[in-house]
Amino acid sequence: MRAERARTLARIGGRAAGLLVAAALAVAVLGAAALVPWPEHRVTPPSLVVQPAESRQQRVCPGPLLTLADDAAAATTASSIGGADATLGAEPDDAEIAETPLDAPGNPQADRDGTPVVIEVEPGTVDAGMIAGAQSQSADTETIAGFAATACTEATAESWLVAGATTLGRTSLVMLANPTDVAATVDVRVTGETGAVEAGSALGIIVPGGSQRVVSLAGLAPNLASPIVHVTSTGGTIAAALEQSAVDGLAPAGVELTGPAAMPASTQIIPGFVVAESGGIDPADDHAEGDAFPAVRLLATGDEPVDVTIGLVPEAGSTSGSTIEATLQPGRATDVPLGVLDAGAYTVRIEADGPVLAAARASVTAPGDAQQPGSADAAAAGDFAWTVSTSPLLEDAVVAVPDGPSPVLHLANEGEDEAEVQVTIDGETRAVAIDAGSAASVEVDAGSMVTLAGVSGVHASVSFGDEGELASFGVQPPGPLDAPIRVFPR
């Protein structure tokens, strides 16, 4: 019995020892697996990069400046006050550009002064974005005086106009141009300093194909100091612009045509914001009234309050600039004074913790005492300009510079590396080096075409300025319609 019990214990001990050895081997194998790289096997889903068939690249110039009729019987009629001068071009410069005028049935002076114009090139003629147009016009009437300039823009299904006012002496007109062959159903939604404006008549506006329709902003949202206009369309696409004119007392006090700003984003860049005269109002002044001071208009488009940081950096780089902190309430447009500024050009950078819209406003008075109402030269009482936020450019771009006083091209490099920009004007090329986070300006010729290379990630605008005249427009990149897309089949 003792011998059998010993053999049983021996068998049990042997099995236990075997288990211990097996466990040790397992630990060793796992340790080795942790040290030795396993073979990788990744499955990449099948995909295909598709280049959409090229379409005719197209831009729309908004046409001449308009004024509302003085006759009460035709108070909603917007009549032109002269013709606009346009500069058109493409790269290569021998590309043929077709020009097609749109109908302007609401303008009784259209036959005399012209209408909006569609410019386009045939598919494959130029690379994406390498067609451009811009227009300008000087006004000198009893109700409108000043200088306005704007770029010809792409027609889209959605755009934001960050400009205008409908307070006493301020008139704002929304221009809706439909360059397509299909009627567009347009909704115009207005947001002001008190929130969204309920205006049922602004929804479902029909703009026939090949025509322009003009809507008075005061008819939709009267007595707004800080309106922002959201334009959406179904059917045909719309090229939207906003004309603002001002009268102080008896004297006209400027006019401007403003195109769409960059879409809502947490970072917005306003390049080439020109302050023509030193001065301004403290940003802490919550009761700043009027529009004769530098300010940035902001709107938080989300549902929550947004904290923003507004940075102003002189383009010349002589000083480090200044910073302003603000909190935006959702759905309420706000004009934030930019403080007391020295005359010059600035890059305005807005950083926010939510999506925002942005554009900056500046003004200039007329020389001498022409700004005094009732004076002999009261028709020239100064001017103002809106400089909109822009989206970064692609690697190459072409810019049209219309006629106007002292045009300047502004370039702001928001990339992480130095930008080596090649600027070509009338066949002559010059290199412009822009450090990361810096800006530069180039004097350009009125009526010229400017070709840019090496501007990926750069923001750009064009400004004009002289005694009593001021204007600006942003240079936006082309839309994504002709960009290649990657398709993942199911």
The per-residue pLDDT of the chain, averaged, comes to 86
Q: Quick check: 332 pLDDT over 50?
A: yes
> Percent of the chain at pLDDT above 90?
73
HSE of 301, CA atoms in CB hemisphere, 13 A: 17
**Dihedral angle computed from the Cα positions of residues 21, 26, 27 and 29, in that order, rounded to the nearest 10 degrees:** 120
Range with the poorest average pLDDT among 50-64, 121-135, 138-152, 456-470: 50-64
- What letter represents residue 21's amino acid? V
Compute CA distances 382 → 163, 208, 318, 366, 412, whole Å: 18, 37, 28, 4, 28
Asked if the bond preceding 92 is cis, omega within 30° of 0, the reply is yes
Cβ atoms < 10 Å from Cβ of 31: 10
Please compute the mean of the pLDDT values over residues 405-433 and round it to a whole number.
Answer: 95
Beta carbons of 365 and 277 less than 8 angstroms apart: yes
Q: How far apart are CA 439 and CA 419, in angstroms?
A: 10
Tens-digit pLDDT profile for residues 172-188: 999 999 999 999 999 99
Q: What angle do CA 265, 269, 271 make, to 5 degrees?
A: 155
Q: What is residue 292's predicted lDDT score, i.e. its pLDDT?
A: 87
Tens-digit pLDDT profile for residues 80-126: 999 999 999 999 999 999 999 999 999 999 999 999 999 999 998 99
Q: What is residue 479's predicted lDDT score, i.e. its pLDDT?
A: 85
Tens-digit pLDDT profile for residues 142-173: 889 999 999 999 999 999 999 999 999 999 99
Q: How far apart are CA 145 and CA 468, in angstroms?
A: 10
Compute CA distances 13 → 3, 25, 143, whole Å: 15, 18, 110
Could you tell me which residue, 125 or 288, shows the higher pLDDT?
A: 125
Q: What is residue 287's predicted lDDT score, i.e. its pLDDT?
A: 66
Range with the poorest average pLDDT among 45-59, 62-76, 284-298: 45-59
- What letter represents residue 330's amino acid? P
Q: What is residue 289's predicted lDDT score, i.e. its pLDDT?
A: 77
DSSP structural state of residue 53: P
Q: What is residue 284's predicted lDDT score, i.e. its pLDDT?
A: 76
Q: What is residue 201's predicted lDDT score, i.e. its pLDDT?
A: 87
> Percent of the chain at pLDDT above 70?
81
For 427: left if phi > 0, alpha if psi spans -120 to 50, otherwise beta; the answer is: left
Please compute the mean of the pLDDT values over residues 413-424 and round it to a whole number.
Answer: 94
Q: In the structure, what pLDDT confidence band is assigned to residue 426 with cuts at 50, 70 and 90?
A: confident
Give the E-state strand segments of 24-141 in sequence order: 48-50, 57-61, 66-68, 78-80, 85-90, 98-101, 117-121, 131-140
Tens-digit pLDDT profile for residues 222-279: 999 999 999 999 999 999 999 999 999 889 999 999 999 999 999 999 999 999 999 9
Q: What is residue 42's predicted lDDT score, i.e. its pLDDT?
A: 53
SS3 366: coil
Q: In the structure, what pLDDT confidence band is assigned to residue 371 with cuts at 50, 70 and 90?
A: very low
Q: Quick check: 385 pLDDT over 60?
A: yes
Tens-digit pLDDT profile for residues 1-30: 444 444 443 444 444 444 443 444 444 444
Q: Quick check: 366 pLDDT over 90?
A: no
